[in-house]
A and B are shown apart, each in its own frame.
Chain A
Amino acid sequence: MSTREGNDPIDLLQGTLDLLILQTLVFGRAHGHAIARTIGLRSDEVLRVGHGSLYPALQRLLKLKLIAAEDGISENNRKARFYRLTEKGRKALAAETSKWQRFSEAIGRILSPAPSKPR
């Protein structure tokens, strides 16, 4: 109902979350809970407000046809909805990843002007 825009971290990190989902699916199809767990392992920050924020991102990726959804049975014999990368998603991931890497390298350089030395 509300059209008010919040200022929560999800908005800022939306691109990151999309990218993480796509990366998660590189190794095969997964349901929502599995995706959340995988991402949670890699970055707590992105899903800080809750696993719920995963779902709008999934809908967005579905709409962009970067992923596809299908019904399946989970490891615990539960009916669940599985997501997998589409061909378009795979290409987008490759492009995004290189872009993202360049971007985080740039950020890293700005944040630590001196070349960081391994401790």
Chain B
Amino acid sequence: MQFWNSRRERLREEIRTHIEMEIEENLQSGMPPEAARQAAQIKFGNTLLAVERSREVWGALWLEYLFQDLRYALRSLCRAPGYTAVVLLTLALGLGSVATILAMTDSVLLRPVPLPHPAQLVVIYGKTAQTGTYTELTYGQIQELRRDSRVFSAVSGYATTVAPVGASDGMRIALLCMVTPDFFRVLSIQPKMGRLLDSGDAAQPVVVVSYDFWHDRLHGNPHAIGSTVKLSGAMRTVIGVLPQGLEFPIGAGAPAVFAPMSLQAKGTGLFIPGAALALARLQPGVSISQALGETRSLFNHAHDGVDGQHLAVESVTRFLTGSMQTPLLALLGGVAILLLIACSNAANLQIARATERLSEMQLRSALGASFPRLLQQLLIESLVISLAGAAVGGGLSVAAVAVIRKAYAGQFARFDEIAIHPGVFAATALLAIVAGLLASLAPAFSTRSRTLAGNRRTATPRNRVSSVLVVLQITLTSVLLVTCGLFVRTFRALQQAPLGFDPHNVTTLVLMPEDSHRSPSLQRETNTLLLHRLQALPGVEAAAMQTTIPFSNYSFSMNGTTDVGGRPFHKDDSAFYSIVSSDFVRASGIHLLRGRGFLARDDGSSDMVALVNQAFVDKYLAGRNPLGVTVRMHRDPGEKDSDIPLSRNLTIVGIVEDELQGPLGSSFEPMVYLDDLQIPTDSAFLQVFSIASEYAIRSPLPRDVLDKEIRAALEQAAPGMAEMQLQSMQEGIANSLRQRRIALRLVSSFGGMALFLAAIGIYGLFAYAVTLRRREIGIRMALGSSRTGITGLILSHAGRLLFWGLIPGIAGAWLAGHAVRSFLFGVKALDPPAVIASAALLALVAALAASVPAWRAARVDPMEVLRAE
């Protein structure tokens, strides 16, 4: 800039000297001073032209023009601070939300997990046909893969659970990962300290711990190698610490302990043995679909009859974050709509502004500015503001990403890794440039046609383009609003979903034995003792053990085929079996519909009794008196008593209401509740259910008092049991809705932003239209139109735009509802109340936004307008 200025200044100086020399000559030849000056100027000609032509010779003029336009754009934007602020804010909102969701998608879904050659790492598992949830493979299947498959260079097995792990700070819950000794070799990682497992460790009492475990539980001790941790009642030596940032197996860093397992082991594992997932490395050049094909055919030919069609081979990245894919893509769709709304808003505001500046443009055109030159300037102004919007939006997204990372790291896979990578910034800048180009096109061409047409007084100018843009905005906004309504209705429906029990004053407690090999009879002794203790606490009304507590992650029930007395057995007749202690009905608050609950006298009796739920009655005993009916677990021909978990007959003594077992909104399954103390200690039931014990405690005491009492009772009555969870049922319910609440909050913030932008758009359009139509309005009023008539004119125009925007909007909302239907509960993709509420809200906002310009139109003074002609 300085360079150009000085060069130009020097040229001007030179020309001045030239003219002065000429004047001097003229004076010497005897001219009077004034004539001498004039003659010199005439002889020189157009000074400005000489300078301009010279500058054109210098070249790089476009760059100078660019700087000129930039400066001019900044100056004129500063002169219209209101306009600038609105456009900037609009684009910052649109681009900022796009950048945030792009950064999340990029970090979570697209970036490979930080492991060596992650593209070759795959997880192999089974998929259940109905629900698509994953199941583990048997040890035998993993060994088969290892032996017979040619697509993998290495196959290892791992199984994940949580378990109490003892260190110097006591017993605390940690992630327990049982791995085959070659697991870390398949991952190809090096230890931070010590060594990793090798083939000789399969049966050794050793563990490798994660960085987080070392940091949190071993206090980052540099001499941690060789120290011991207590796992399942036995001491194990720490032989290695993993490097920081290892995300396997749950997609986030966590205090985790990796203990060796052997695929040859039978029934003596730390927890349910015999099943694991396979982590394998593909041979170089083998694709995942090839691997899937080969593995499927391998399993189809295997004699153990596993259905290869339900086998899945997935890249580690996808396996860890697959569940995030649909929500993130849905969010991406949402922000794309938001950006479109923001862009059309910016375009509309620029059209309005271009109209205001029409006379300036006409003047410049008359002074010789060519259309490309004017276009360049409009474009630069548009780009300046959209890039500034991208910068502000980028800043917003940096803050948003930091908040999201802080709030949700560790709760969702890979959320601790969320960051804005340069690519996302580049993409946002690119979007901003495209948005700037698009937004400046409409005003540029409307300016062109009008500067060429010249006189704008010839007709009432109307801008079809801005009307179309507002209709588009209304359409997109109604899509977001209706979707938002669907989420609100879903949330309401979930909150009102029947629980089947009274959640008030219920506290739930989960314990896990430190030693998983405790005998069932010892376990029962502890249970009984603890229950007596809890029931005796002052202020406690009832306490019960339950293997299935609603909203708990530690609930177990066993699905078993079942014979119902008086009904022929069908192949799919089954029920879920849950074990409870005798005070179950009172403590859990489940509603007893008929009959009675368990009584103390049942405990010692050899006649086994059972409670069933309403779903059981509906499915198997419809139209019959269920009380007194005998139920037993089904025995296939040839099966002995010892092959089934429970061989005794059960008499139904009571019917309870359906109690929720899954998350809110899940369906009710037939349940059979058994009295814990009636079950023989050698039953396979008890072994399965001894992994964790859950208790429901009913008490009106305040939380902190009750917690203190319970913990004191635990210390005395249940040594050797680690506390996994102690929370009120209400907290459990709230937690189960947490993810829903996050989704609702996100979607409604989109809806709110869209509504806000649409309001700006509608206001902008009408404010501009009223300015343009002042003359028409003045004439109408002079011809006798009332002020109400004028207001009506504006508002009916707004109503028409609303109508034309809503029609495709509702269709779009139906499509959007269809796209997000997996998140919905209790509403259909096309939900009339959501549509009506959204339309009403949009109509209200549109009316408010249009009423200010309408009011201004009604105040037009016809005399003033006509006189101005």
Contact = CB atoms under 8 A, between A and B. Distances in A.
A50 B44 contact: yes
A2 B57 contact: no
B53 interface: yes
Nearest to A49: B45
A32 B59 CA distance: 21
Given A56-B57, A63-B58, A1 B52 contact: yes
A67 interface: no
Nearest to A62: B57
Interface stretch (A77-85, A88-96, A97-105, A107-115): A77-85
Nearest to A48: B45
Interface string A46-63: 000111111110111001
A82 to B, nearest CB: 10
B54 A51 contact: no
Interface in B444-489: none
A2 B50 contact: no
Interface stretch (B16-24, B170-178, B190-198, B388-396): B16-24
A16 interface: no
B235 interface: no
Contacts of B47: 52
Contact of B58 (A1, A59, A74, A76): A59
B18 A3 contact: no
A2 B368 contact: yes
Which residue, B20, B22, B24, B45, has most C-beta atoms of chain A within 10 A?
A: B45
Contacts of A36: 18
Contacts, number: 82
A117 interface: no
A94 B58 CA distance: 25
Given A33-B22, A81-B14, A56 B373 contact: no
A76 B22 contact: no
Which residue, B21, B24, B46, has most C-beta atoms of chain A within 10 A?
A: B21
B49 interface: yes
Interface string B325-361: 0000000000000000000000000000000000000
A4 interface: yes
Nearest to A37: B25
A55 B58 contact: no
Contacts of B53: 53, 55-56
Contacts of B56: 56
Interface in B40-76: 42-47, 49-54, 56-59
A3 B370 contact: yes
B46 A50 contact: yes
A76 B18 contact: no
B369 interface: yes
A78 to B, nearest CB: 6
Contact of B57 (A54, A60, A81): A60
Contacts of A58: 54
B15 interface: yes
B46 to A, nearest CB: 6
B466 to A, nearest CB: 30
Contacts of B42: 50
Interface string B2-32: 0000000011001101101110100000000
Which residue, B22, B50, B56, has most C-beta atoms of chain A within 10 A?
A: B50
A3 B22 contact: no
Interface residues of A, number: 26
Contacts of B369: 1-2
Contact of B50 (A3, A4, A55): A55
B50 A56 contact: yes
A52 B46 contact: yes
A60 B50 CA distance: 12
B726 to A, nearest CB: 78
B21 A76 contact: yes
* Size band of the interface chain B makes with A: 20 to 34
Nearest to B61: A3
Which residue, A31, A52, A76, has most C-beta atoms of chain B within 10 A?
A: A52
Contact of B45 (A3, A32, A51): A51
B526 to A, nearest CB: 93
A53 B57 CA distance: 12
Nearest to B17: A80
Contacts of A59: 11, 54, 57-58
A4 B370 contact: yes
Contacts of A3: 370, 373
A79 B15 contact: no
B475 to A, nearest CB: 42
A52 B58 CA distance: 16
Given A3-B370, A4-B370, A33-B18, A50 B54 contact: no
A31 B14 CA distance: 9
Given A56-B50, A60-B57, A51 B21 contact: no
A53 B45 CA distance: 8
B87 to A, nearest CB: 27
Contact of A56 (B18, B43, B54, B59): B54
B18 A1 contact: no
A9 B243 CA distance: 80
A3 B17 CA distance: 28
Contact of A63 (B24, B46, B57): B57
A29 to B, nearest CB: 14
Contacts of A76: 21, 24
A17 to B, nearest CB: 12
A78 B20 contact: yes
B17 to A, nearest CB: 5
Given A3-B370, A56-B54, A51 B14 contact: no
B368 A1 contact: yes
B14 A32 contact: yes
B17 A51 contact: no
A74 B373 contact: no
Contacts of A74: 21
Contact of B21 (A2, A33, A63): A33
B616 to A, nearest CB: 87
Contacts of B50: 50, 52-56
A65 B324 CA distance: 66
A79 B17 CA distance: 8
Nearest to A33: B21
B14 A80 contact: yes
Nearest to A35: B18
Contacts of A2: 52, 368-370
A64 B496 CA distance: 85
Interface in A1-53: 1-4, 31-33, 36, 49-53
Given A52-B45, A53-B45, A78 B54 contact: no
B24 A52 contact: no
Contacts of A50: 42-46, 50
B380 to A, nearest CB: 15
B197 to A, nearest CB: 75
B370 A55 contact: no
Given A52-B44, A59-B57, A63-B57, A4 B368 contact: yes
A59 B52 CA distance: 11
A51 B373 contact: no
B21 to A, nearest CB: 4
B57 A33 contact: no
A59 B49 CA distance: 14
Contacts of B18: 31-33, 36, 51
25 contacts: A2-B369, A3-B370, A4-B370, A31-B17, A33-B18, A33-B21, A33-B22, A50-B45, A51-B44, A52-B45, A52-B47, A52-B50, A53-B50, A54-B50, A55-B11, A55-B50, A56-B54, A58-B54, A59-B54, A59-B58, A63-B59, A78-B20, A79-B17, A80-B21, A81-B14
Given A2-B368, A59-B57, 13 more contacts: A1-B52, A4-B370, A31-B17, A32-B18, A50-B43, A51-B44, A52-B15, A53-B53, A55-B15, A55-B54, A59-B58, A60-B57, A80-B14
For the complex of A and B, the 4 pairs showing the least CB-CB separation, nearest first, are A50-B45, A52-B50, A56-B53, A52-B45
Interface of B: 10-11, 14-15, 17-18, 20-22, 24, 42-47, 49-54, 56-59, 367-370, 373
